[in-house]
């Protein structure tokens, strides 16, 4: 008899701030930290422009939400691979729509969820 796979609960979502995201990424998905810091530097720190901060936080909120859940992340990667190899435009569009819906739903997560 084989054991059922253990489903790990993803870490909670951080505060919806650059600092909260950076701390969560450093703790739970450190492989993303260099890219996070590079983008922060390029789009905000080096420009002294805070206008991109809301878009930056939205992008990284979604990235962390996906990366923290290995099962969901694998599902999205599978959808993307299937879309890349789709035999028709309609099939690729349907698969990409699923990816879009998943990513959009991640934006609705609240800190602590």
Reported pTM: 0.85
Give pLDDT, residue 50. Answer: 94
CA–CA–CA angle 93, 29, 80 (5° rounding): 15
The pLDDT assigned to 110 comes to 95
pLDDT at 75: 97
Question: What would you report as the CA-atom Rg of the chain, rounded to the nearest whole angstrom?
Answer: 16
For the chain, list residues with pLDDT below 50: 1
Work out the burial of residue 98: count CB atoms within 10 Å of its CB; fewer than 13 is exposed, 13-18 middle, 19 or more buried. middle
CA separation, residue 74 to residues 51, 54, 62 (Å): 33, 27, 15
């Amino acid at each position: 008899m084989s054991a059922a796979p253990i489903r790990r609960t993803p870490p909670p979502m951080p505060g919806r701030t650059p600092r909260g995201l950076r701390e969560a990424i450093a703790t739970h998905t450190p492989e993303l930290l260099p890219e996070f810091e590079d983008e922060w530097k390029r789009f905000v720190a080096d420009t002294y422009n805070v206008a991109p901060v809301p878009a930056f936080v939205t992008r990284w909120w979604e990235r962390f939400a996906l990366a923290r859940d290995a099962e969901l992340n694998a599902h999205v990667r599978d959808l993307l691979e299937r879309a890349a190899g789709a035999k028709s435009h309609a099939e690729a569009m349907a698969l990409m729509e699923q990816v879009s819906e998943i990513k959009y739903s991640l934006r609705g997560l609240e800190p602590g969820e």
